[in-house]
Amino acid sequence: MQHVTDFPRRIVEIADMGIPMPDGVRLSARVWMPEDAGAAPVPVVLEYIPYRKRDGTLDRDELMHPYVAGQGYACVRVDIRGNGDSQGLMTDEYTEQELSDACEVIAWLAAQPWCTGAVGMMGKSWGVFNCLQTAFLRPPALKAVVSVCSTTDRFADDIHFKGGCLLGENFGWASVMLSYSGRPADPVLRPDWRADWLNRLDNEPFLGPRWAGHQARDAYWKHGSVCEDWDAIQAAVLTVGGWADNYMNTCGHLARNLSAPVKGIVGPWVHQYPHTAVPGPAIGFLHVMTRWWDHWLKGIDNGVDKDPNWTAWMLDSAPPDASAAYRPGRWITTAGPDGNAVVEYGLGEGRLGEAAPFSATIATPQDLGLLTGKYFPMGLNAEMPGNQAADDARSLCFDSAALAEPMQVLGQAMLRLRLSSDKPLGFIAVRMNDVAPDGSSVRIAHGMLNLCHRDSMEDPVPMVPGEEIGVSISLDLSAYRLAVGHRLRIALSNSYWPFLWPSPEAGRLTVTGGGLSVPVLTGEAGIWTPPAPQTARPANRRREGDASIRRIERDLIAGTVALLVEDDLGRVENLDTGLVNIEKMTERWEIRPEDPLSARHHTIWHQGLSRGDWQVSTRAETLMTATATHLVMHARLTAWEGEVQVFDREWNEEVPRRFV
């Protein structure tokens, strides 16, 4: 990684620029811009998120925004209302208020004397969800977007539901936001920090029950889902994703459906920006992004509009590694995210090949899935999928013959099944794996379907026990080259813990037929040589005492199996501002293999901020369990000023299980 300090334009930084909203709320922005922008105005690049610019995203902000600003842009990093140093309250994610504020921010920035009037929006995860959602609203000054790890359908491809199945991370993310949003502004920037903090705490939402309560693709999820009208987005979109993340499908959706200019890049990465992400190779993402801005915000004819529509890191077969620092493969360019041919497999007795009559049962133990990895891995803490062989051994599997020549998968495979269920509620999880001659198994892609949603995500209905039906399950987008001698495997289960919350009863599925369509790339593809990673210099922070644990525990007396995760980010001191923060998290996912109602997710988050004699801290503790009829959620948020407790609140809610 090269750190750059000399840029074409010398920059200045504004630690706290106030942006007024129509209702009187002041949003706080950190801004980097050329020092001569008043005389020579520049376009604006906006990042707009709730993750606290003063401490939460400081490390990544300082690598990115000064670099882009030095190329002749004003980079504006705004805290969403109710977070960080901004005033107001946040009530949910992607609300009408949040998106209205975004449009107001864009209009205000475009009107400043140091701005040319052209604005681009960038972000990762939350910050690009609202990029696309804001583009959907067409604010006049917004000309282009850079989207990293995003969604176009809030029900299909976010952390709440997938294939109509309730994700474990729905509750996990609610716990994160309860902790993240419970912290105060920095007193150096907000003299009213204490009154504002207590008001935030009094109004803090616990969102897990709300999200889990919407068990169909209703109006709640359609709001903010840009797939409702693809043509509404007119800004040019560069969409970026990672194969180790679970937001890769969005790149394909945008590339296939937008009428606006769009280009896609997918690398081997986790849920991080591609100049710092693992697994490698990282790329010079800031150079790629600046080139995008140069064309769409400055009007420079640099050929970006003529670049290949689709660029992807085609993964090669490699041994399974949940903490892979690098994934072998090669960069390819194609006309789009889908291959130019399809390989069809029929299902037989344990085989992918010619279709043949069979009848097989899926009744997998509830602890299957512990090595499937996180929904959005963030780094090298064994969060990516590990060796799938142990779970394969407990699943219903169909294997191809050993490959006589390499197979280049490109696109989304589709599995069709004939099956019946002995319970009204249940799901099926599908893993498409690369099986090496030594028996190790690497997950290429997975997909899942809540069987209540077999015909509709909007109008689910329970299964009729014993009635045979046909279902289709779309697997995630992938680019993967299976080596000679390897086999393609489809592994089926009706449990997937803790990725999916279990069904209320340990059901049994009977499969009697089906087929698999695999999109493949034949012939030669184009080649891309990306620029080497460059960033601005790192933040001036000192970190001490960070540590992480991720392990599986088996209690031979209680009969439970648990995934334990501990992340201690240590003591981090900003040597420029004196602000010190600590962050610790403990997460335990526990279940008994024979009992889906034993599922238990317990999380504790500690946050602390200090400077000199000033010290505040919070503790957010959450617990999710379930009965046969309800999802049961408990949360408690406690806050201290120094040693004095200033806030304590509990939530106890039950959500009816209608379709999960």
pLDDT tens-digit map of 405-428:
999 999 999 999 999 999 999 999
Q: How far apart are CA 175 and CA 37, in angstroms?
A: 42
Beta strands 165-166 and 161-162 are antiparallel
Mean pLDDT for the stretch of residues 351-359: 97
Q: How confident is the model over 440-454, as pLDDT tens digits?
A: 999 999 999 999 999
CA distances from residue 18 to 21, 28, 277, 423, 575 in whole angstroms, order as listed: 10, 5, 32, 56, 24
Q: How far apart are CA 36 and CA 371, in angstroms?
A: 53
Q: Is it true that the peptide bond before 279 is cis, omega within 30 degrees of 0?
A: yes
Among candidate residues 490, 479, 511, the one with its CA nearest the CA of residue 400: 490
Share of the chain above pLDDT 70, in %: 100
pTM over 0.75: yes
| pLDDT tops 90 at residue 482 | yes
For residue 489, name the pLDDT band (cuts at 50, 70, 90).
very high
Among candidate residues 60, 180, 172, the one with its CA nearest the CA of residue 122: 60
**Is 184 within 8 Å of 609 (Cβ atoms)?**
yes
pLDDT at 472: 98
Question: How is residue 199 written in tokens?
Answer: 């008001």
Segments of the chain assigned to CATH 3.40.50.1820: 2-164+215-334
- Residue 126 backbone phi and psi in degrees, to 5: -50, -45
CATH topology of domain 2-164+215-334: Rossmann fold (3.40.50)
> Burial letters for 207-239: b for 16+ Cβ neighbours within 10 Å, e otherwise?
bbbebbebbbbeeebeebbbbeebeebebbbbb
| pLDDT tops 90 at residue 265 | yes
Displacement of CA 41 from its chain's centroid (Å): 35
pLDDT at 641: 98
Q: How confident is the model over 42-58, as pLDDT tens digits?
A: 999 999 999 999 999 99
| pLDDT tops 90 at residue 360 | yes
Q: How confident is the model over 603-627, as pLDDT tens digits?
A: 999 999 999 999 999 999 999 999 9
Segments of the chain assigned to CATH 2.60.120.260: 341-522
> Burial letters for 615-634: b for 16+ Cβ neighbours within 10 Å, e otherwise?
ebbbbbbbbbbbeeeebebb
60 sits in which H/E element: helix 58-69
Mean pLDDT for the stretch of residues 455-469: 98
DSSP 233: -
| pLDDT tops 90 at residue 1 | no
pLDDT at 457: 98
Mean pLDDT for the stretch of residues 169-197: 97
**Is 142 within 8 Å of 179 (Cβ atoms)?**
no
Mean pLDDT for the stretch of residues 160-169: 98
Mean pLDDT of the chain, nearest integer: 97
For residue 456, name the pLDDT band (cuts at 50, 70, 90).
very high
Q: Is it true that the peptide bond before 498 is cis, omega within 30 degrees of 0?
A: yes
DSSP 453: G
Span 341-522: which CATH code?
Answer: 2.60.120.260
Share of the chain above pLDDT 90, in %: 99
pLDDT at 38: 96
